[in-house]
Amino acid sequence: MTIAETPRFVRADGPDKVTGSGRYTADMQLAGMLAAKFKFAEVAHARIVRLDISAARQIPGVLAVLTDDDVPDVRYSAGLADRTLFARDVVRYEGEVVAAVAATTKEAAQAAVDAIVVEYEPLPIVDDLEAATADGAVLVHPEWESYSASPGIPRDGNVASHSSVVRGDVVRGLSEADIVVTSRYVADGSHAAPIEPRAVVAQWEGDKVTIWSSTQVPFAARDGVCHTLGLPTNRVRVIVPHMGGGFGGKCGFHYEAHVAALARAARRPVKLVFTRREEFIAPDRRRESMIVDLTTGVKSDGTIVARRGHALLDNGAYTADSSFFPQLAVMHLAGPYVIPNVEIGAELVYTNHQPSGSVRAPTAPQATWARESHTDEVAAALGMDPVEFRLLNAVETGTVGPSGQTYDEIGLTDCIRKAVAASETAGPLADNEAVGVAVGWWPSIPAPSGAYVKIDGDGAGQIVTGAQECGTGSVMTLRQLAADELGMDPEEFQIVHQDTAVAPYDTGATGSQTLFNNGRAVIAAAGQIAEQLRELAADRLEASSADIVLSDGAAHVAGSPDRNVSIAKLARTASYCELLIGHGSGPPPSAPEISGATCAGDAGMAAWVAPQFSCHAARIRIDRDTGVVRVIRVDAVHDSGTIINPTGALGQVEGGVVMGIGQAISEGTVYGTDGRQRNPALLEYKLQTAADAPEIHTQFVEIFTPDAGPRGAKGIAEAPNVPTAAAIANAVTKLIGRPVSHLPMTPERVWEATR
């Protein structure tokens, strides 16, 4: 089935969201609910000399004031437990929580926060990645060796995690190369910046707490509350109302435990809603800044023979879910190219900046921008067309990638050819215009997931899933899969989701994994019901169950279309004697084997299950007098396996491209010498808007991918964000004659490069 033939349907959550009738966490109102406010550090690095909350407790309307003394002595974070709920003795970034207040009004809560006295002894600020890794550097965590960590995470001082991949002999490969090119690139950090700020509501009933949270990962949030507050999982329920975007920034466990602890202390429900400034400075999910060094050796015919690379990633003050990011960065610096000799390493470095974490396709846009800019530099040194250079060296079906993985049927070279051909249809270029091309790749993330499917007595369907809907539409696509399995219409299914007390476990809306993993679970659950329906129909139609076909809302005898019975009638029959219920877990596929490579700090990301490939061609225009770059067209071609829901897939590509444009030319966190952000507001932090969006033309190279997602699908949500900035950068380089080696390519940086 082609993308044009795939059925389309209206998203169940669409009308609520576009009409404004949908309710988000911040809209919730419970009887007697209190307002929460946090006391943030407001300094980047200091020792707490004195913390006095006595005056705050005297403010009228204040019912609870909590500090580190009021919660269990527990460290947490995924992979590396290096932080506590409240600052303990030392603050390490400006957004660290020192105390929390619950009061009858927001004004009273803010007055109490203002009344809290904190005296600090300043400590040296660690904000330079290279200096932080030097001998004798000030340590952000002097006690780092005492932190518990997952096996296989190499650590040392300010290096929170390190990964590398070595294959072949790089020294020999570079010595045998005809041309060797070396480059350095620096990328600023950036933010997920969802329009909905973070919000949490908590209410206790006896010894059980229900938490409503704007989280992408309700089960991870539940587990974080249990871990930090010492509660069993059956006493913590996390529900996610409508969600106003996440982009990775709302992954992981954040402030659910703080609000739950306040609600328990105050004996009233409590609501926390961040201001826009708080949303910028506090959460531990910011895109990491990065320094990249690359050296590539090629033969005169254009064949890559060796690559050496190294990257420093800004971890910030704490490790959220970023301990595996160095391995992701290593793979993106190698890229989807055939390179026999590889030696690439990456280090995740502690600083006194806001913690980094899983913003859409972590490490990929920055590393891909560096690698693809470097790729154009290598092609230029050869005097070779950059597109032909990519086609010559790109991985194809049956070739071996940089980590030693042999690739099954993939469509990267088709993506390149189609993107370039599409861009050429836009007509001739003006003198101040150019087209840049870049390729990208991203793994599909296998993870456990579960689902229940049932058919009610009237023939209507229900899907109960732990999957989370953060705006991508992936959860809504589950209706298509269940309907396809049962021969029903997707509109006949309702979805119950985003509630840890009702649904089976799911990783959440992270890693482009919702459809990829939960889709298999839904198919397995629906398949059980299909078998039940065939047995019921076979008995009623006096046929063999093997001859029963489910389609068009009925069970048919194959070859005898007149012999049929509706699924609704079968469901009514079943409701008296047996319930039509199925459950599925959709076991994740195994990682492919790799050979001939050594991976240090292996976090399981060196071999990619069902990798996605893409090529973007970006047409840009530059005003040479101001350095302003305007993106006027992007042709995006993706190999994402079978496309299940074309409307959703197109939306993901368009959203990812616009986000990538922001990272390319406008979005970057600016820090002062005091370690604090200088642009934590939408006026200074320049997001792209609808008015900035260019023409976006999307194509899919649909290749059935066995042993992957449902119906041969791969992921889609993060991949479009990967090559966009790189394609724009290569177009800029064509116009000004040299690369802008600092991301984002702001007007000031472009203007300086033109001079």
In CATH, what number is assigned to the domain containing residue 477?
3.30.365.10
**pLDDT band at residue 444 under the 50/70/90 scheme:** very high
Residues 433 and 554 in one domain: no
Q: Single out the residue of 694, 159, 715, 656 nearest to residue 359, CA to CA.
A: 656
Residues 106 and 229 in one domain: yes
**For residue range 34-45, what is the model confidence (pLDDT) as tens digits?**
999 999 999 999
Average pLDDT over residues 251-264: 96
The answer to whether residues 668 and 608 touch, using CB atoms and an 8 Å cutoff, is no
- Where a domain ends, among 532, 551, 584? 584
**For residue range 674-725, what is the model confidence (pLDDT) as tens digits?**
999 999 999 999 999 999 999 999 999 999 998 889 999 999 999 999 999 9
**pLDDT band at residue 10 under the 50/70/90 scheme:** low
Neighbours of 543 (CB within 10 A): 18
What is the dihedral angle through the alpha carbons of 70, 72, 73, 75, rounded to the nearest 10 degrees? -120
Residues 343 and 489 in one domain: no
> Is residue 527 a part of any domain in this protein?
yes
Encoded tokens for 544: 């063999």
pLDDT > 50? residue 593? yes
Please give the pLDDT value at position 5: 47
Please give the pLDDT value at position 502: 93
Distance CA 288, CA 723 (A): 17
> Is residue 138 a part of any domain in this protein?
no
Q: Which of 73-82, 368-377, 584-593 has the highest mean pLDDT?
A: 368-377
Residues 203 and 71 in one domain: yes
> Is residue 5 a part of any domain in this protein?
no
Conformation bin of residue 193: beta by default, left when phi > 0, alpha when psi is -120 to 50: left
pLDDT > 80? residue 575? no
Helix ranges (H only) for 102-165 are 106-115, 129-132
pLDDT > 50? residue 3? no
Residues 605 and 535 in one domain: no
> Is residue 464 a part of any domain in this protein?
yes
> Is residue 143 a part of any domain in this protein?
no
Average pLDDT over residues 305-316: 98
> Is residue 520 a part of any domain in this protein?
yes
Residues 417 and 470 in one domain: no
Distance CA 529, CA 40 (A): 52
Residue 121 pairs with which residues in a beta bridge? 47
pLDDT > 80? residue 576? no
> Is residue 190 a part of any domain in this protein?
no
**For residue range 115-151, what is the model confidence (pLDDT) as tens digits?**
999 999 999 999 999 999 999 999 999 999 999 998 8
> Is residue 93 a part of any domain in this protein?
yes
Encoded tokens for 115: 């009344």
List of residues 6+ apart from 604 with CB closer than 8 A: 324, 591
Q: Single out the residue of 209, 224, 228, 198 nearest to residue 86, CA to CA.
A: 228
- Residue 702 domain boundaries: 286-446+592-754
Please give the pLDDT value at position 577: 63
Residues 528 and 642 in one domain: no
Longest distance between any two alpha carbons in the chain, whole Å: 85
- Assess whether the previous peptide bond of 744 is cis (omega < 30° from 0): yes
Q: Single out the residue of 726, 744, 534 nearest to residue 618, CA to CA.
A: 726
- Where a domain ends, among 532, 562, 584? 584
Distance CA 479, CA 11 (A): 10
H or E stretch covering 166: strand 159-167
What's the CATH number where 71 sits? 3.90.1170.50
Residues 395 and 354 in one domain: yes
pLDDT > 70? residue 226? yes
**For residue range 731-750, what is the model confidence (pLDDT) as tens digits?**
999 999 999 999 999 999 99
Please tell me the least confidently modeled range out of 303-317, 503-517, 613-627: 503-517
Residues 458 and 407 in one domain: no
DSSP classification of residue 708: S
List of residues 6+ apart from 428 with CB closer than 8 A: none
Cα 194 to the center of its chain, rounded Å? 13
The structure tokens 């990964």 sit at 163
Residues 255 and 298 in one domain: no
pLDDT > 70? residue 7? no
- Where a domain ends, among 273, 308, 332? 273
Distance CA 715, CA 512 (A): 5
Distance CA 67, CA 29 (A): 26
Please give the pLDDT value at position 706: 87
The structure tokens 């296998």 sit at 446
The answer to whether residues 284 and 198 touch, using CB atoms and an 8 Å cutoff, is no
Residue 262 pairs with which residues in a beta bridge? none
Residues 261 and 332 in one domain: no
Return phi, psi of residue 140, to 5°.
-70, -35
**pLDDT band at residue 611 under the 50/70/90 scheme:** very high
How many domains does the structure of the chain reveal? 3
Name which residue leads in pLDDT, 701 or 595.
701
Residues 224 and 299 in one domain: no
Give the chain's mean pLDDT: 94
Instruction: Give the length of the chain.
Output: 755
DSSP classification of residue 476: H
pLDDT > 50? residue 288? yes
